[in-house]
A = this chain, B = another copy of it.
């Protein structure tokens, strides 16, 4: 292959013995041309590796095949895996996804929206920072570009939302902990997104329903270094002996990972066995939760389902022309993952 380099579609069309408009049609949808001509084009493709210029394509198409994927913090393996999963689904659907990370900064998040506008995407799948997000910027963006939110909701923004049922998550964990031992306290940090608030409220509600006093402990710290926050907060709580119970339910796994490190350092034995000092559980089933010491009991996010539904929803939105009728929210249930820590 590759006798001599092909400059453009004109040349390639000549080589393949087909007119340029037909070749153009082929690249937009190989099934839109007759079988015999498809064979001729593909035979030429093997001989002269030619690829249409993406910039020329995107400049002229009414709508590009680009998809923007925005996650709040790609250094969190949970989001990295989610993004990877989503990317591959879009590729399979014939789109060109690009992933962006807000790196925990609302300013960066806004810059990403600017970048996204400039690539004129067919649609965007966005997991916003949450509380720190600049609501009006995102709202304006959603007016221009078909956007589906996932993971973290912003009420009324975007054409749809796909995420987890935080209420059910916390019900699962609280009921389990209450059933198998002392009722837990809820360890949280300054909430970065609505999920955190929903989890806390669900904790209160579930504890009250079960007839227990809900006790919430908030640890200090800002930003996306959740482990650090859980660790430092844990050290403080343990050394001051201000933990009122022997069961700790963490708002999320990353916080729990930090808290476990503090427990270990302070000599607290964590687990559900008789000789243990404290039980610790989390939420999300973070990729690292299997490798904590002890392994972390948690509620797993169904991220296969979340990514699948997000992609489906956005593709449907794009096909419908961008204006979904009414904003729809989909929440997936979690599963209790019992490990050694609680």
Contact = CB atoms under 8 A, between A and B. Distances in A.
Interface of A: 51, 53-56, 58-59, 74-77, 80-81, 84, 98-99, 101, 103, 114, 117-119, 227-228, 231, 257-258, 260-261, 264-265, 287-288, 290-295, 340
Contact of A59 (B55, B290, B292): B55
Contacts of A51: 114, 117-118
Nearest to A51: B118
Contacts of A81: 75
Nearest to A58: B55
Contact of A260 (B99, B119, B258, B293): B293
Closest 7 CB pairs of A and B: A264-B293, A293-B293, A75-B80, A55-B59, A261-B291, A55-B58, A55-B55
A277 B51 CA distance: 60
Given A54-B119, A293-B260, A103 B84 contact: yes
Nearest to A53: B59
A193 B104 CA distance: 31
Nearest to A77: B75
Nearest to A74: B80
Contacts of A103: 84
9 contacts: A51-B117, A55-B56, A75-B80, A84-B103, A227-B288, A228-B290, A231-B291, A258-B291, A292-B293
Contact of A291 (B76, B227, B295): B227
Dominant secondary structure of chain A at its interface with chain B: helix
Nearest to A80: B75
Contacts of A257: 288, 291
Given A77-B77, A101-B84, A340-B265, A118 B54 contact: yes
Nearest to A91: B111
A295 B261 CA distance: 8
Nearest to A88: B103
Contacts of A119: 54
Contacts of A340: 265
Contact of A293 (B75, B84, B117, B261): B261
Contacts of A264: 293-294
Contacts of A80: 74-75, 80, 101
Contacts of A98: 98
Contacts of A55: 54-56, 58-59
Contacts of A114: 51
Question: Interface centre among A58, A75, A76, A258, by most B CB within 10 Å?
Answer: A75
A324 B118 CA distance: 33
A292 B261 contact: yes
A227 to B, nearest CB: 5
A261 B59 CA distance: 53
B77 A84 contact: no
Contact of A288 (B53, B56, B101, B288): B288
A73 to B, nearest CB: 9
A75 B77 CA distance: 5
Nearest to A261: B291
A44 to B, nearest CB: 18
Question: Interface centre among A51, A74, A291, A295, by most B CB within 10 Å?
Answer: A291
